[in-house]
Structure 1
């Protein structure tokens, strides 16, 4: 198993409270890692630490064997170009159009692209998710689910090698959810490294290769999905029981949802 990102003895404080408490963890490259745990256990904080968005108060975060702090600013920009992050609250710029929101990563990471090339790329992305009519609208003019979908596609518009997802399917209607699932399946097929926080049972059963279970900021267990799902630890089994893992969720094997489209 190749390692994409490694955490060593990571601690994150909020005032005097340990949001993450001595977490050591390896994120496998080219696999889908799912972080599970009760509400408020530190899942989103852990995701941001893994992504390099949040610097821990103690411990190390290594990417490709080197600590984030060992990289130059130029090297970090190159790393971030290979990363995409889907925020739980969409995090779209309210004063910019959907075209401008989707164009931002392309302008920043690929300054050599012409505006016409960027608009062509954005148009193709919006057409794929049937939101082409929203090109010149502001985020507030879209539904919550549509905003989430735009945020999702913005994170992937640079074709990142590593994708971070914070509750990607929350507040998304069935139609948008199916489109999102198809895109996720495509990313899985090209062996992108993905790390997600979600309680979506379909993502758990269909996409997940590696499971991480947290409780009260501490790592309970991490490993291949089938190893963790049959854990003998009562606390792990209790958390897993909250998310349906019935075999019927994945009847017929690793078949993508609505794969005929």
Structure 2
């Protein structure tokens, strides 16, 4: 984790503008996704007549510094939304209401996909820019190293670091940036929505969460060990290819193709 944070501090700051836009689009995407999910509930109620509960409109005065207001806001929004749908069913009919809700669902889904696309779009300059900066720095380091270094090290290892290791850093940076900027936003907004819909099911999820987290942690440790072994083998393979290409005339001169 310390190595990852050090890499972020060194290479990500030049791309702060794209990071801000990525956070904004991730927030919009999470809110629209939650709104699309909430629209399915009244649609199912209309289609299957699941609930006959009546709703009464409640005036809403939001106080930003009142804990009670924050606590009551989700329930008030839910009540007024279902009142609006019930009133539309009584005045306009179930078919008209279903069409309106379907149109809203299509529009919200389109906006959700659009914001998700923009979130990925703003992440691309960070990804390509960080990889470019790392490779430029490696290139400068290679040209500054003394000749004695290259006599002791295999060229394949150096090539593997420039190609394979940088790709591994690229993959880890992208997944870690999602972990830092996207996942906390999704968790927070989805958690608020889950509590507003059913706090009992939310409590059940939290009970099972440590078990799932432990299982995923064990799998992650095994995959990390295998990934390290794979990087070592990749360096050895690149060394073999480089040595073979460099000594190809000698190999052919001694008819050693089968041995190689």
Shorter-chain-normalised TM-score: which range?
under 0.3
- Which structure would you say has the larger Rg? 2
Q: Which has the higher strand share?
A: 1
Q: Which has the higher helix share?
A: 2
